[in-house]
Amino acid sequence: MTERELIEGCINNKQEAQKQLFNLYAGKMMSVCLRYANNEALAQDILQEGFIRVFKSIHQFRHQGRFEGWLRRVFVTVALRQVSKQQLFFTDAAILDSQDHSVAPDVVSKISADEIHALIRKMPDGYRTIFNLNVIEGYSHEEIALMLGIQATTSRGQLLKARKYLQLMIDSKNEKIKIDCSNKI
Amino acid sequence: MFDDIIKNKANEHEAPVPPDAWDNIVKKKKKRRLAFWWLSGGALVLLGISLAGYYFLQGQEANGSNELVTSSQRGVELQEPNDAGRNETAVVEEKNIQPEVDANTAITSEQTKTANDLNKKEINTSKPGSTTINNARATITITNGEAGEENKRSNSKKKWRKSKGRLLAQQTSPGVEEMAAVKVEDNSNTQILEETVSDNLTMAENKNVIALVVPDKKAVTAEEEKKKPDPEKKEAVNQNTAKKQTPKKRWFIEASAMPILTSSNMDETIVFNRTLSAGNNTIVYNGNLLKTSIEPAVAFSLAVRKELNKKFSMGAGLQYLQLKENLSIEGKEINTTYTPVQRLVNGQLVPDTVVTVSEGTRSITAVNSYRQFSIPIFMQYSIIQKKQWSVSAVGGMYINISSSYQNEIDRNAAAPLLVTPAAENKTQTGIDVFAGVRIGKALGRKVDFFVMPSMRWNLTKYTVENSLLNRRMNQAGVGFGICYKVK
């Protein structure tokens, strides 16, 4: 069954098509949910709510872009709603090294998607949300400000700190790997 | 570069999905479908109860009316235009009429008298021999002829206004049945009759009795009604809604319009009696309140609501409502006139008296206009609260702080029956309770649209002085409104 047929099936409320769509995208969408939620239970809630929402409004998809992109947007919207029910605090996390860090691209490339995912999830809620929205989903600071009801400058500040935080975490992880390797030698 | 790599890797990532995720989605979908049907069912049941209550109350009122209609119809039957009945009436009523009647001057007449046709000063010249008497205040139409058919009666419409201030009446008179054989010797008799009636009406200013009589209670005369003091104003209940609230709680401003259907339930039968008597003419009218119906109306509300906690919120506001009530009174009117005449007996003129009795049914329709201000105080309990929509139960009370009549009576036309000018009557009218379901839909971040079917029960009888509106009135309605989040 092609993606188009799946979508048509979902529009016609066919459960078989809905289940296939779920099986096709559930993993990636669960990843999205976990990046926004600070616990697994909330992520599962977002996943379920997201798919219900997708099935309800799938007729609005006009086949003008990638379906996965549309799906992500729906999930991000649902995730933000769920997350915003809990208070989102934009605080400064203690960053040990105040100097600027730039991690070499090859170092980042070597890190697996799972590890990147795990590192992002370790970020404080505020950092993580802004980082997800701006870097991964591609929303501008103005859009983020509108979505979260904050100032665009707050979003920019949080993103800078989030990026630094992530780089530090990657750096420390890299150091760890180096130490492990030298110990083996 | 760093961002791109992170983005690509994050987008590639797939997390393990809990095995029961799909089953949970299916369950949730079913649950929501059920919830939707429950809510729809609940709303329908509520609407059904409201309508059933409304029609039940209407039905009760109609039952009461039927009895009155029956008795009234009996009255009509007595007046069927059959000759035998007519003769019997003549025998009974015209004791003083000499049996010998001059064939040239005797007139078998059907007389239609409307002594209080104050609004229309019309001249009825449609039939030969008809006479119309106008004075400054009233029109009396006497139609001589063979008329008497039911259809002719039903076509005769007359306006009638009565008030001890509050009743604007339009009479539809099916006509008055025949009454008596009248011996009239010459045209001057007609003149005498004119003068008599005219005098009567002038004198009626002093002698008329206008009363709304509740059985077993004494009739109230016009003057007594005038002197009756306003009912004591009840103390307004001071509801202080500005209690201490935690600063996080939100405030809402709500504006709504609610189309309503009102049912009225009178606990007493109203009998309407009026007697006009002067000199040798008496007009007696005995009517029953057959039917009242209150027109559909729209209530406008403005309220402020404050969240007390996640589930409860409390509000207060102001509601304006204008009701129009149609009344129908039907009864029997008897007009008795004693006319001195001279009769030729054996070549001599002998003084005699002709008694003319006119009897007929009179239907009166009237319109009462009623304005009311209330303070709604309510609690709202959130049953379902979603980002886009919400369902809440709402209940509370209306403190009716002011009610008034707008006087629609043409004062010039209503005199002389209208003794005193009817100023606006303001009265405090007690407390109602209400309950409803409110379904809200978010229109934006700060604005919600809501629909609220509700029922309002009148705990304290509406008591507006000198008004037929004194009764319980329950209201069923569906409110539509906008809610604005202030904080």
Which tokens is B87 given? 């003769």
Distances (CA, A) of B446 to A170, B206, B250: 42, 66, 11
ipTM: 0.83
Beta bridge partners of B477: B260, B454
Q: Tell me, yes or no, if B1 comes closer than 8 A to chain A by beta carbon.
A: yes
Q: How confident is the model at residue B58 (pLDDT cuts 50, 70, 90)?
A: low
Q: How confident is the model at residue B342 (pLDDT cuts 50, 70, 90)?
A: confident
Q: In chain B, what residues touch A31 (CB-CB under 8 Å)?
A: 10, 13-15
Residue type for A17, please?
A
Q: What is the pLDDT tens value at each position of chain A, 185 positions in all? A: 788 888 999 998 888 999 999 999 999 999 999 999 888 888 999 999 999 999 988 988 888 888 999 999 999 999 988 887 766 666 655 554 445 556 666 777 778 888 888 888 888 888 899 999 999 989 999 999 888 888 899 899 989 988 888 888 888 877 665 555 555 54
Residue numbers of A between 157 and 176 with CB closer than 8 Å to B:
163, 166-167
Nearest Cα to Cα of residue B46 among B433, B360, B477: B477
Instruction: Give how far B7 is from chain A: nearest CA, Å.
Output: 5
- Burial (CB count <10 Å: 0-12, 13-18, 19+), residue B36: exposed
Instruction: Give how far B442 is from chain A: nearest CA, Å.
Output: 14
Task: Using CA coordinates, name the residue in chain B closest to A105.
Answer: B2
Angle between helices B2-12 and A15-36 (to 10 degrees): 140
Q: Which phi and psi (to 5°) does residue B78 adopt?
A: -60, -25
Instruction: Give how far A116 is from chain B: nearest CA, Å.
Output: 7
Angle between helices A15-36 and B21-78 (to 10 degrees): 110
Higher per-residue pLDDT: B217 or B19: B19
- Residue pair B277/B338 in contact by the 8 Å Cβ criterion: no
- Residue pair B47/B255 in contact by the 8 Å Cβ criterion: no
H/E stretch holding B292: strand B281-294
Higher per-residue pLDDT: A11 or B185: A11
Residue numbers of B between 251 and 280 with CB closer than 8 Å to A:
none
Instruction: Give how far A87 is from chain B: nearest CA, Å.
Output: 13
- Across A14-18, A86-90, B62-66, B179-183, the highest mean pLDDT is recorded for A14-18
Q: In chain B, what residues touch A138 (CB-CB under 8 Å)?
A: 7
Q: Tell me, yes or no, if A136 comes closer than 8 A to chain B by beta carbon.
A: yes
CA dist., res. B175 & res. B157, Å (int)? 8
Q: List the single best residue of B1, B6, B29 to mutate versus A (max A Cβ within 10 A).
A: B6
Q: Is the CB of A30 less than 8 angstroms away from the CB of B24?
A: no
Peptide bond into A124 cis (omega under 30): no
Strand ranges, E, within chain A: none
CA dist., res. B103 & res. B94, Å (int)? 18
CA dist., res. A133 & res. A147, Å (int)? 10
Q: Tell me, yes or no, if A28 comes closer than 8 A to chain B by beta carbon.
A: yes
- Number of Cβ within a 10 Å radius of residue B360: 25
- Residue pair B434/B398 in contact by the 8 Å Cβ criterion: yes
H/E stretch holding A39: none
Task: For chain B, give the mean pLDDT.
Answer: 63
Facing A116 at nearest CB: one of B10, B21, B22: B10
Q: Is the CB of A30 less than 8 angstroms away from the CB of B14?
A: yes
Nearest Cα to Cα of residue B96 among B437, B482, B356: B356
Q: Is the CB of A44 less than 8 angstroms away from the CB of B11?
A: no
Task: Please report the DSSP string for B364-418 in residue order.
Answer: EEEEEEEEEEEEEEEEEEEEEE-SSEEEEEEEEEEEEEEEEE-----HHHHTTT-
- Burial (CB count <10 Å: 0-12, 13-18, 19+), residue B158: buried
Question: Which pLDDT score is estimated for B436?
Answer: 94
Q: Which residue has the tokens 């769920």?
A: A82
Domain A88-185 listed as CATH 1.10.1240.10: no
Q: In chain B, what residues touch A81 (CB-CB under 8 Å)?
A: 387
- Residue pair A82/A53 in contact by the 8 Å Cβ criterion: no
Q: How confident is the model at residue B254 (pLDDT cuts 50, 70, 90)?
A: very high
CA dist., res. A140 & res. A146, Å (int)? 10
**B190-248 pLDDT per residue, tens:** 333 333 333 333 333 333 333 333 333 333 344 444 444 444 444 433 444 444 444 56
Higher per-residue pLDDT: A49 or B48: A49
CA dist., res. A113 & res. B12, Å (int)? 7
Pairing of strands B271-278, B176-183: unpaired
Q: Tell me, yes or no, if A139 comes closer than 8 A to chain B by beta carbon.
A: no
Running DSSP on this structure, what letter comes out for residue B466? T
Residue type for B418, please?
L
Running DSSP on this structure, what letter comes out for residue A134? I
Which tokens is B483 given? 């809610």
Q: In chain B, what residues touch A117 (CB-CB under 8 Å)?
A: 9-10, 13, 15
Beta bridge partners of B447: B484
**B428-440 pLDDT per residue, tens:** 567 889 999 999 9
Q: Which residues belong to CATH 1.10.10.10 in chain A?
A: 88-185
Nearest Cα to Cα of residue A78 among A149, A127, A29: A29
Question: In this complex, how many residue pairs, one in chain A and one in chain B, have their CB atoms less than 8 Å apart?
Answer: 82
Q: Tell me, yes or no, if B49 comes closer than 8 A to chain A by beta carbon.
A: no
Q: Tell me, yes or no, if A30 comes closer than 8 A to chain B by beta carbon.
A: yes
Question: Which pLDDT score is estimated for B64?
Answer: 41
- Residue pair B93/B118 in contact by the 8 Å Cβ criterion: no
Residue type for B257, please?
A
Higher per-residue pLDDT: B43 or A182: B43
Which tokens is B170 given? 């339009």
Q: Tell me, yes or no, if A147 comes closer than 8 A to chain B by beta carbon.
A: no
Instruction: Give how far A171 is from chain B: nearest CA, Å.
Output: 13
CA dist., res. B146 & res. B108, Å (int)? 8
Q: Tell me, yes or no, if B7 comes closer than 8 A to chain A by beta carbon.
A: yes
Q: In chain B, what residues touch A47 (CB-CB under 8 Å)?
A: 17, 21
Lowest mean pLDDT segment, chosen from B71-80, B268-277, B309-318? B71-80
- Burial (CB count <10 Å: 0-12, 13-18, 19+), residue B345: exposed
Q: What's the farthest any 2 CA atoms get from each other in chain A?
A: 61
Q: In chain A, what residues touch B14 (CB-CB under 8 Å)?
A: 27-28, 30-31
Q: Tell me, yes or no, if B248 comes closer than 8 A to chain A by beta carbon.
A: no
Q: Tell me, yes or no, if A34 comes closer than 8 A to chain B by beta carbon.
A: yes
CA dist., res. B392 & res. B390, Å (int)? 7
Q: In chain A, what residues touch B24 (CB-CB under 8 Å)?
A: 44, 48
Which tokens is B181 given? 């054989």
Q: Which residues belong to CATH 1.10.1740.10 in chain A?
A: 1-86
Q: How confident is the model at residue B294 (pLDDT cuts 50, 70, 90)?
A: confident
pLDDT of B96 > 50? The answer is no
Task: Using CA coordinates, name the residue in chain B closest to A72.
Answer: B11
CA dist., res. B158 & res. B393, Å (int)? 51
Classified as helix, coil or strand, B284 is strand
- Residue pair B135/B202 in contact by the 8 Å Cβ criterion: yes
CATH number of A1-86: 1.10.1740.10
Q: List the single best residue of A23, A106, A116 to mutate versus B (max B Cβ within 10 A).
A: A116
Which tokens is B60 given? 């009760």
